[in-house]
Amino acid sequence: MNVQCVPIGRKSSRLPYTPRMKVELPEHHSTLYSSFPASRLGRSALEASLREQQIAALLNVNRWSCASEMCGPELVFGTESRQSRFQTEGFVMDAKIVLLPGDGIGPEIVTQGKRVLESIAARYGHTFSMPEHPIGGNAIDDFGDPLPQPTIDSCKDSDAILLGAVGGPKWDDPAAKTRPEVGLLKIRQELGLFANLRPINTFDELVDASPLRREIVAGTDILFFRELTGGIYFGDSGRRPHESGEEAYNEMVYSTGEVERIVRLAAAAAKDRRGKLTSVDKANVLEVSRLWRQVAERVVREEFPEIEYEVVLVDAMAMHLISRPKDFDVVVTGNMFGDILTDAASMLPGSLGLLPSASLGSDGPGLYEPIHGSAPDIAGRNIANPLATFLASAMLLRHSLNLSEEADAIETAVAAALQSGHRTKDIAAGGTSVSTTEMGDLVLQQLT
Ligand code: IPM
Ligand code: MN
């Protein structure tokens, strides 16, 4: 097997490793994947992402692809001596993780996320530089721009990004020149983060905090793929005169290529999970959805014939998610449907405070965030739940830096903190609760 990895990016002082590299792939590349480390996303997702980038040629493998596969301990990397050095010294990494605390509870939870990442770095010998940059409402206040250029530049130059949340009533004036949310939409677009992964898993200890009955939700394990850089959130929009005053419009557009790439990733993830993919659309009404459905069906039929595939209309899906969530494995859908359905699904495990998400592109850094919002009503009170941010940090380590063991360590620590009975206010069901910082301490204790 002849794989040559040529470092072209930031170098670790400890190892001849860098997350960004050129990889020359031989024509028959299948054995490259034989040592795939366990990951939620899985091996065929990686293959799909590589296929998408036409692996026959020389390519810049993104950190995610590289991360998932080629940088594992069995990596064929350079010369024999390098390999042995690799083995004796272990796998240490210099990485730049940009922190975007944002608004509301964002700064409190990102501070806790940073502590957890620092403790992981110390325990495993990595060096993480973690510069902070403004985004959202605070950036509007200080710079008149929800996404200042230095924030964009630093993110583009990073290995991964950890975001808190943006927005709040202070910036809600509909007549305002700009809005915090514009910062978030723009960073997704600037970094080409077209795939938003939102895992919905239940923690057994918390199932009784769900508004739904235990027998309906226990065991739910869904991975949503929400398309994130297209559709109605990015279509042409505006206002124009109308006989009754004005009218406003937002256009929903999807191209074949946009549907193909997200469906391909979702189908690949399904193949590595329980083998079932559900595509959600509104093809009985929308032309966009009819194209979506045609393209999705073709991608699955041609490239993933072994998976079980179904299409569900979005209104029906809203119902099925609540009545039979355990029937779903991987769900793929467009930007707006995914936005709405994942908020609904987030109630299944009992609290929004537990759910992380990853936004990934075909190249460059991924962006990781808790899916709850900025919760301005509880901001600054040290009561927010930092667990979703910890789980987002775990996804960051796994998907952008290939640090699966470290990611597992965080997930195990979170589960242990919950098992020991500690709860932040949102999941305490009226009982005793711990603060944001105390929950941070508890998880850190598990990590050291
Ligand atoms: C989300 C949020 C954002 C979205 C907003 C803040 C722009 O609701 O990440 O789901 O709608 O995408
Ligand atoms: Mn949303």
Q: Which atom of ligand 1 is nearest to the CA of 167?
A: 6
In this predicted structure, the answer to whether residue 146 has a pLDDT above a threshold of 70 is: yes
66 and 164 in a single domain? The answer is no
What pLDDT sits at residue 353?
Answer: 81
- Which range, of 38-52, 224-238, 268-282, 390-404, averages the lowest pLDDT? 38-52
Ion ligand 2: protein residues whose beta carbon lies under 5 Å: 339
Section 260-284 average pLDDT: 98
> Quick one: what percent of the chain has pLDDT higher than 70?
80
H-helix or E-strand containing 45? helix 43-52
Nearest residue by C-alpha to atom 6 in ligand 1: 181
115 and 62 in a single domain? The answer is no
Q: Which atom of ligand 1 is nearest to the CA of 165?
A: 6
H-helix or E-strand containing 311? strand 308-313
Beta bridge partners of 279: 311, 332
| DSSP-derived secondary structure for 312-330 | EEHHHHHHHHHH-GGG-SE
83 and 98 in a single domain? The answer is no
Section 325-346 average pLDDT: 97
386 and 425 in a single domain? The answer is yes
71 and 168 in a single domain? The answer is no
Nearest residue by C-alpha to atom 5 in ligand 1: 181
113 and 24 in a single domain? The answer is no
Q: CA angle, corner 379, sides to 373 and 385, nearest 5? A: 65
What pLDDT sits at residue 447?
Answer: 93
In a domain, 298, yes or no: no
360 and 418 in a single domain? The answer is yes
In this predicted structure, the answer to whether residue 76 has a pLDDT above a threshold of 70 is: no
> Quick one: what percent of the chain has pLDDT higher than 90?
73
Cα distance from N-terminal residue to C-terminal residue, the chain: 39
In this predicted structure, the answer to whether residue 15 has a pLDDT above a threshold of 90 is: no
Where does a domain end: 65, 89, 113?
Answer: 89
Centre of ligand 2 from the C-alpha of residue 343, in Å: 6
Section 90-115 average pLDDT: 94
Nearest residue by C-alpha to atom 8 in ligand 1: 339
- Which range, of 33-47, 167-181, 204-218, 418-432, averages the lowest pLDDT? 33-47
Domain count, the chain: 2
Q: How confident is the model at residue 90 (pLDDT cuts 50, 70, 90)?
A: low
User: What range defines the domain where residue 168 resides?
Assistant: 94-220+348-447
Section 41-49 average pLDDT: 44
Centre of ligand 1 from the C-alpha of residue 309, in Å: 27
Give phi and psi for 358, each to the nearest 5.
Answer: -125, 135
Centre of ligand 1 from the C-alpha of residue 213, in Å: 28
Q: Which residue has the higher pLDDT, 89 or 327?
A: 327
In a domain, 149, yes or no: yes
In a domain, 232, yes or no: no
Centre of ligand 2 from the C-alpha of residue 365, in Å: 21
Q: How confident is the model at residue 97 (pLDDT cuts 50, 70, 90)?
A: very high
Pairwise CA distance, residues 307 & 305, whole Å: 6
Pairwise CA distance, residues 103 & 101, whole Å: 7
What pLDDT sits at residue 10?
Answer: 36
The CATH number linked to 437 is 3.40.718.10
Sole residue written with tokens 């965080």: 410
Pairwise CA distance, residues 107 & 380, whole Å: 9
What pLDDT sits at residue 260?
Answer: 98
In this predicted structure, the answer to whether residue 89 has a pLDDT above a threshold of 70 is: no
Nearest residue by C-alpha to atom 12 in ligand 1: 339
Q: How confident is the model at residue 205 (pLDDT cuts 50, 70, 90)?
A: confident
Nearest residue by C-alpha to atom 4 in ligand 1: 339
Section 344-356 average pLDDT: 88
Pairwise CA distance, residues 332 & 204, whole Å: 26
Where does a domain end: 72, 89, 106?
Answer: 89
Pocket test for ligand 1, best of 339, 359, 368, 372 (most atoms within 8 A of CB): 339
53 and 200 in a single domain? The answer is no
37 and 60 in a single domain? The answer is yes
In a domain, 184, yes or no: yes
143 and 172 in a single domain? The answer is yes
Q: How confident is the model at residue 44 (pLDDT cuts 50, 70, 90)?
A: very low
358 and 443 in a single domain? The answer is yes
Q: Which residues line ligand 1 (CB under 6 A)?
A: 167, 181, 184-185, 339
Q: What is the mean pLDDT of the chain?
A: 84
Region at 434 (left for phi over 0; alpha for psi -120 to 50; beta for the rest): beta
Q: Which atom of ligand 1 is nearest to the CA of 188?
A: 12
In a domain, 29, yes or no: yes
In a domain, 263, yes or no: no
Where does a domain end: 89, 113, 133?
Answer: 89
Centre of ligand 2 from the C-alpha of residue 340, in Å: 6
Section 300-320 average pLDDT: 98
In this predicted structure, the answer to whether residue 383 has a pLDDT above a threshold of 90 is: yes
In a domain, 329, yes or no: no
In this predicted structure, the answer to whether residue 38 has a pLDDT above a threshold of 60 is: no
In a domain, 266, yes or no: no
What pLDDT sits at residue 163?
Answer: 98
| Nearest alpha-carbon partner for 298 in 316, 279, 285 | 279
368 and 430 in a single domain? The answer is yes
Q: Which atom of ligand 1 is nearest to the CA of 342?
A: 10
In this predicted structure, the answer to whether residue 66 has a pLDDT above a threshold of 50 is: no
Task: Please identify every residue annotated as catalytic.
Answer: 233, 282, 315, 339, 343
